[in-house]
Chains A and B, each alone.
Chain A
Amino acid sequence: MLPRLGGMTDAAHDPATPDTVVPPPEPARPSGASALLIRGLRKSFGAKVAVEDLDLDVPTGSFYGLVGPNGAGKTTTLSMATGLLRPDAGTIEVLGTDVWRNTVKAKSLVGVLSDGIALFDRLTGEQLITYHGLLHGMDRETVAQRTGELLDLLDLRSAGGTLVVDYSAGMTKKIALGAALVHAPRLLVLDEPFESVDPVSAANIRDLLAGYVRGGGTVIVSSHSMDLVQRMCDHVAIIGSGRLLAAGTTDEVRAGSTLEDRFVELVGGRHHSEGPTWLRTS
Chain B
Amino acid sequence: MVAHLLRLRFRLLLNSFTRSTWTLVSAIIGAAWGLFILVGLVAGMIALSYAEPVWVWTVSVLAGGAAVLGWIVVPLLLRGVDQSLSVDKLRIFPLPPRRLLVALLVVGLLGVPGLVTLTAGLSTTLSWLGHPVGLVAAPLAAVLGVLTCVTASRAFESVGASLAAGRRYREVMGVLVFVPLLLLGPIIGVAGSSLATISNDLPDIARTMSWTPLGAAWSIPGDLVLRRNGEALAKTGIALATLAVFVLLWRRSLAVLLVTPPRASGGSGSAKGLGPFAWYPATPTGAVAARTTVYWLRDPRYGGSLIMLPLLAVIAVFLASTGSDWFLAALGPVIAATLAITLCAEVSYDGTAFATHLSTGVSGVADRVGRVITLGLLSVPLVGVATVVPLLVLDRGEQIPALLGIGFGLLLTGFGVSSVASARFLLPVPAAGESPFKTPPGSTFTSQLGMYAAWLIVFGLAIPELALGIAAIALGSVVLGVAALLVGIIAGSIVMVVGIRQGGALLERRGPELLASLMRARGA
Chain A residues engaging chain B, CB cutoff 8 angstroms: 82-86, 103-104, 106-108, 110, 112, 114, 116-124, 126-127, 130-132, 134-140, 143, 158-163, 165-166, 168, 179, 183
Contacts and interface: CB of A to CB of B under 8 A. Distances in A.
Interface string B345-373: 00000111101111111110000000000
Given A123-B294, A127-B274, A84 B515 contact: yes
Nearest to A139: B282
Contacts of B356: 119-120, 131-132, 135, 179
Given A83-B512, A108-B361, A118-B351, A135 B284 contact: yes
Contact of B361 (A107, A116, A143, A159): A107
Given A86-B512, A131-B277, A131-B356, A118 B283 contact: no
A84 B355 contact: yes
Which has the most chain A C-beta neighbours within 10 Å: B270, B273, B288, B358? B358
The 8 closest A-B pairs by CB, nearest first: A107-B361, A134-B287, A140-B282, A166-B267, A135-B360, A162-B267, A118-B353, A161-B272
Contacts of A110: 359
B216 to A, nearest CB: 44
B358 A83 contact: yes
A125 B362 CA distance: 20
B268 interface: yes
24 contacts: A107-B360, A116-B524, A118-B352, A118-B432, A118-B522, A121-B432, A122-B294, A123-B294, A127-B291, A131-B287, A134-B277, A134-B282, A135-B287, A135-B356, A135-B360, A139-B282, A158-B269, A159-B269, A161-B270, A162-B268, A166-B264, A166-B265, A166-B266, A183-B360
A187 to B, nearest CB: 12
A83 to B, nearest CB: 7
B267 to A, nearest CB: 4
A122 B297 CA distance: 10
Given A122-B294, A168-B264, 10 more contacts: A86-B513, A108-B361, A116-B352, A121-B353, A121-B432, A124-B272, A131-B291, A136-B360, A136-B362, A165-B432
B231 interface: no
Which has the most chain A C-beta neighbours within 10 Å: B284, B287, B524? B287
Contacts of B508: 103
B232 to A, nearest CB: 53
Contacts of A103: 361, 508
B271 to A, nearest CB: 5
A144 B294 CA distance: 18
A161 B271 contact: yes
A183 B274 CA distance: 18
Contacts of A112: 355, 359
B300 to A, nearest CB: 10
B277 A82 contact: no
B295 interface: yes
B361 A104 contact: yes
Given A161-B269, A166-B266, A127 B275 contact: yes
Contacts of B350: 120
B43 interface: no
A166 B269 CA distance: 10
A84 B358 contact: yes
A175 to B, nearest CB: 12
Interface residues of B, number: 49
Q: Is the interface of B mostly helix, strand, loop or mixed?
A: helix
Contacts, number: 128
Interface in B253-293: 264-275, 277, 282-284, 286-288, 290-291
A137 B432 contact: no
Nearest to A80: B512
A83 B361 contact: yes
B299 interface: yes
Nearest to B362: A135
Nearest to B287: A134
B227 interface: no
Which has the most chain A C-beta neighbours within 10 Å: B288, B355, B524? B355
A163 B167 CA distance: 11
Contacts of A106: 361
A137 B284 contact: yes
Which has the most chain A C-beta neighbours within 10 Å: B271, B277, B508, B515? B277
Which has the most chain B C-beta neighbours within 10 Å: A110, A134, A143, A183? A134
A152 to B, nearest CB: 14
B396 interface: no
Contact of A122 (B268, B271, B274, B295): B295
Contacts of A183: 360
B433 interface: yes
Which has the most chain B C-beta neighbours within 10 Å: A118, A132, A140? A118
Contacts of B277: 127, 130-131, 134
A127 B361 contact: no
A167 B291 CA distance: 19
A64 B353 CA distance: 26
Nearest to A123: B294
B516 interface: yes
A86 B359 CA distance: 13
Contacts of A118: 351-353, 355, 432, 522
Contact of B274 (A116, A126, A139, A179): A126
B96 to A, nearest CB: 24
Contact of B268 (A119, A126, A161, A165): A161
A86 B512 CA distance: 6
A44 to B, nearest CB: 13
Contacts of B362: 135-136
B283 A137 contact: yes
A85 B512 contact: yes
B298 interface: yes
Contacts of A168: 264
A123 B291 contact: yes
B359 A114 contact: yes
Nearest to B299: A122
Interface in B298-357: 298-299, 350-353, 355-357
Contacts of A127: 274-275, 277, 291, 294
Given A85-B515, A108-B361, A123-B291, A163 B267 contact: yes
A86 B515 CA distance: 10
Interface string B39-80: 000000000000000000000000000000000000000000
Nearest to A144: B274
Contacts of A136: 284, 360-362
A132 B288 CA distance: 10
Nearest to A164: B267
Contacts of B266: 166
Nearest to B359: A112
Contact of B352 (A107, A117, A132, A135): A117
A84 B266 CA distance: 33
Contact of B359 (A84, A116, A159): A84
A116 B355 CA distance: 11
A158 B266 CA distance: 13
Contacts of A137: 283-284
A136 B299 CA distance: 24
Contacts of B274: 126-127, 130
